[in-house]
Amino acid sequence: MKLKNYNLSGLVVVTLFCIGVFATFNSNAARIDTSESHYDDLWDRVRDGFVINTPDIQQVRKLETAYTNHPRLTERIFERSAPYLYYIIEELIQRGMPTEIALLPMIESAFDPTANSNRRAAGLWQFMSATGKSLGIEQNVWHDDRRDVVVSTQAALDYLEYLYDRFDNWPLALAAYNWGETAIRKSIENAAQRDGRAEFHDIRLPQETRNHVHKLLAIKKIIANPSDHGINLRKIPNQPYFDEIQLSSHIDIALVAQLAGVSLAEFNMLNPAYKRPVVKVLNESRVVLLPVQNVDSFVANLAAYDDTLLSWKIYEINQKESINEVARKYGLSMHRLRTINNLEENDQFEIGQRILLPLEIRPIKTNVTIVRNKPDIFKANTNSHAVHIVKKGDTLPDIAKYYGSSIRE
């Protein structure tokens, strides 16, 4: 791991050039050299690290067919893995884990780090909230690190290593990742008592869990021989796509993207954990990912930037305020306030909750009256402002006439 130090507001750029040697999990298997210098296409590295036994059974063949019957969709999933795959492969090789594990996000999330399941699992590796917390994955109003590419990958590989140590079998470890360690252990014990055998295909599993493992094996067979399956597997350069940047101060996400010269879409693709338009630094520095070719520009541009890094202020709800009341108080639409703070339609504020507001706004102190068919209120106090709730069919001339005002006013 190569560490670059920059004396720029506590920035540290960490470049991930980890080179490892992969050892198989079969005691009688030959050691495979998957170090990066031998490869031009990352997919070749992936193939050479395959070690999990793949039985030629009907269930796996059926799932192979399901993928190859939709080649464009399958190819899109493979292409979506490109920004993340090098990092995952490097981590697997460094840990001595089979490269089949790098295909698991294809099954879990179709390699979409923003994916949410109907059970509220999130991220590339689809962690449930409770599981994520048990693995030390931070989740708060500012960021959900189940969607953080680096944090979630490290947690997933830690967890899979733990499961492999418990079961000494990768298909069983993968099944436990899907169904749970306790459930798999009980099923193994029941199978051992019943038949004296307790391998993956001997134990009783929910169909979803068995398919989960079989899908991984089907994807593996397609990647091993894509042309035989009618799949166009585009080359992925065997080099890192992103670097890690540590930030020690709050900063607008839009400003990070601007200084790095990347679009917000690309920034969000690499940093989907952030739930607000700001990188909020709490107790420790926060890491953002940037494309390798943009890191130097970001560092240079940040060094030359002499304006504020944050265009938001934090507002604490200190009384029973509704979203509508706060929006009106600060002259924002409810839609914008919800969007800024990642609020759902039915969400309500709680006392002590912290939200973001644009820095330049000020509370509206004028006497504001909500007027619905009560023009006399407005006319009785010409120093106050009126807010007219527009109804279908209203026009500017009609509203002006209604309040005894001009269209210009």
d(CA 118, CA 116): 7
Measured in whole angstroms, the distance separating CA 346 from the mean position of its chain's CA atoms is 24
Element (H, E) at 265: helix 264-270
Catalytic sites, residue numbers: 108
What region, left, alpha or beta, does residue 167 occupy, with left being phi > 0 and alpha being psi -120 to 50 degrees?
Answer: alpha
Q: What percent of the chain has pLDDT over 90?
A: 64
CA angle, 74 then 151 then 43, to 5°: 35
| Cβ-based burial of 217 (10 A; exposed 0-12, middle 13-18, buried ≥19) | buried
Domain residue limits, the chain: 21-229, 243-304, 312-358, 368-402
CA dihedral over 147, 150, 153, 154, signed as positive or negative:
negative
Counts for the chain of helices (H) and strands (E), in that order = 17, 10
Is the pLDDT reported for residue 284 higher than 50? yes
Mean pLDDT of the chain: 84
For residue range 69-127, what is the model confidence (pLDDT) as tens digits? 999 999 999 999 999 999 999 999 999 999 999 999 999 999 999 999 999 999 999 99
Please give the class, per CATH, of domain 312-358: alpha beta
User: Quick one: average pLDDT of 291-318?
Assistant: 93
pLDDT tens by residue, 157-211: 999 999 999 999 999 999 999 999 999 999 999 999 998 888 999 999 999 999 9
β-bridge partners, 388: 371
Query: Which residues are CB-neighbours of 330 under 8 A, at least 6 positions away?
Result: 337, 357, 361, 362, 363, 364
Query: Lowest mean pLDDT: which of 10-24, 191-205, 220-234?
Result: 10-24
Q: Using the predicted structure, report yes or no on whether residue 373 has a pLDDT greater than 60.
A: no
How far apart are the C-alpha atoms of 135 and 141, rounded to whole Å?
A: 19
Q: What is the mean pLDDT of residues 219-226?
A: 98
- Whether domain 21-229 has CATH 1.10.530.10: the reply is yes
Does residue 346 carry a pLDDT above 60?
Answer: yes
Closest-CA residue to 126 (of 106, 146, 99): 146
- Residue 115 has a pLDDT of 97
Residue predicted with more confidence, 398 or 275: 275
d(CA 122, CA 109): 8
Asked if 290 contacts 260 with a C-beta cutoff of 8 angstroms, the reply is yes
Average pLDDT for residues 16-22, to the nearest whole number?
28
* 298-306 average pLDDT score: 95
Q: Which of 14, 6, 10 is nearest to 300 (CA)?
A: 6
Say which residue, 350 or 155, is predicted with more confidence. 155
Q: Read off the amino acid at residue 2.
A: K
- Residue 80 and residue 373: Cα distance in Å, rounded? 55
pTM for this structure?
A: 0.76
Query: What pLDDT is attached to residue 365?
Result: 54
Q: What is the pLDDT of residue 355?
A: 87
Per-residue DSSP letter, 30 = P
